């Protein structure tokens, strides 16, 4: 697995990954009607691309296939984190989060789905509040969650940067990172 910064040519593949992930992975926690309004199959590509470029956005790749992506803004708002349905529970989200959480914000905030809540709780996030979000007249439940930054996040980023220093495409680096983070 390689993690790199977002490029505009990634947007279409990310849009498909988003739709597929929501409609498969999140299907155990949300109804078909909820999934349909959450991921309609059409997004404004220009708006998403602009947002990805304005944020610190990372993509994870397996060979040339995008298997995950995430983005965070300068204030510490972790906006999106999605992993391909065939790469769940393989450390992809954790590897992306390790780097996203290294931004210079004291607190990281996210709006986590029912499905993602346990992942974020394991990473030290706490629920600030449950919320009901309305989309096209359909209510979806999610959670505003926060994580106070610690020296741990900075250490993870340093480990990542050291492993990357001999080359981002070196398979041994990916294995080293995976071993060090227990994935």
The 3-state secondary structure of 33-52, one letter per residue: HHHHHHCCCCCCHHHHHHHH
Nearest alpha carbon to residue 122 among 101, 150, 94: 94
Q: Is the pLDDT confidence value at 169 over 70?
A: no
| Ramachandran assignment for 162, one of left (phi > 0), alpha (psi -120 to 50 degrees), beta (any other) | alpha
Q: Is the pLDDT confidence value at 90 over 70?
A: yes
Q: Is the pLDDT confidence value at 86 over 60?
A: yes
Output the pTM of the full model. 0.80
Angle formed at CA 61 by CA 79 and CA 110, multiple of 5 degrees: 15
> How high does pLDDT run on average in the chain?
86
Stretch 91-117: mean pLDDT, rounded? 94
């Amino acid at each position: 697995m390689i993690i790199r910064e977002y490029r505009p040519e990634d947007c279409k593949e990310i849009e498909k990954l988003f739709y597929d992930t929501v409609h498969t992975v999140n299907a155990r926690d949300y109804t078909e009607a909820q999934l349909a309004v959450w991921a309609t199959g059409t997004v404004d590509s220009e708006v998403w691309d602009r947002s990805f470029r304005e944020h610190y956005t990372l993509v994870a790749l397996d060979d040339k296939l995008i298997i995950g992506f995430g983005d965070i803004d300068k204030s510490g708002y972790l906006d999106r984190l999605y992993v391909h349905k065939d790469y769940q529970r393989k450390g992809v989200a954790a590897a992306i989060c390790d780097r996203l959480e290294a931004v210079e914000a004291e607190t990281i905030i996210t709006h986590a789905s029912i499905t993602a809540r346990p992942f974020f709780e394991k990473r030290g996030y706490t629920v600030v509040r449950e919320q009901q979000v309305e989309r096209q007249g359909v209510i979806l439940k999610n959670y505003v969650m926060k994580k106070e930054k610690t020296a741990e996040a900075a250490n993870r980023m340093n480990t990542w940067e050291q492993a990357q220093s001999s080359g981002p495409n070196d398979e041994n680096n990916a294995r080293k990172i995976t071993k060090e983070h227990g994935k």
